[in-house]
């Protein structure tokens, strides 16, 4: 019996359950798109139908390391969720970013658009 097995055996069932729940929570905090889809109990075929692409497209999407934010947002939405982007800095609290690749961006003016008669 390994040292770890001996320690686990000495824990109460309640303590073991609490540790297992925390481990599952930590694992769930970081997933690939494929792991997330599987955790949501969705097939590639179902995702393909939701996204309007072929199953092979879902497979390729899950293998990509670099996605457009709009593609990632649509994929998460097809899984029933929403995507939030948060910028984290060491010297301030996290900042939620908005207006980036949103389906329905806020109706904020993009900038001043005035036509000038003279150059």
Write the CATH number for 48.
1.10.260
CB 44 within 8 A of CB 55: yes
pLDDT tens sequence across 29-87: 788 999 999 989 999 999 999 999 999 999 999 999 899 999 999 999 999 999 999 99
CB 101 within 8 A of CB 70: yes
CB 63 within 8 A of CB 74: no
Q: Which domain holds residue 89?
A: 43-104
Answer yes or no: do 13 and 65 share one domain.
no
Is residue 113 in some structural domain? no
- Return the CA Rg of the chain: 22
- SS3 category, 85: strand
Question: pTM of the entire structure?
Answer: 0.61
Domain count, the chain: 2
Answer yes or no: do 49 and 24 share one domain.
no
CA proximity to 47, closest of 39, 20, 57: 57
Is residue 5 in some structural domain? yes
């Amino acid at each position: 019996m390994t040292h770890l097995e001996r320690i686990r055996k000495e824990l109460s069932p309640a303590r073991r359950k609490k540790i297992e729940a925390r481990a599952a929570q930590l694992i769930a905090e970081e997933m690939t798109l494929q792991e997330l889809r599987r955790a949501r109990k969705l097939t590639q075929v179902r995702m393909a139908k939701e996204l309007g692409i072929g199953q092979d497209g879902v497979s390729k999407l899950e293998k990509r390391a670099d996605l457009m934010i709009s593609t990632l947002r649509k994929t998460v939405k097809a899984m029933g969720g929403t995507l939030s982007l948060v910028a984290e800095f060491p010297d301030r609290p996290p900042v939620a970013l908005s207006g980036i690749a949103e389906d329905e961006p806020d109706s904020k003016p993009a900038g001043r658009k005035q036509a000038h008669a003279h150059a």
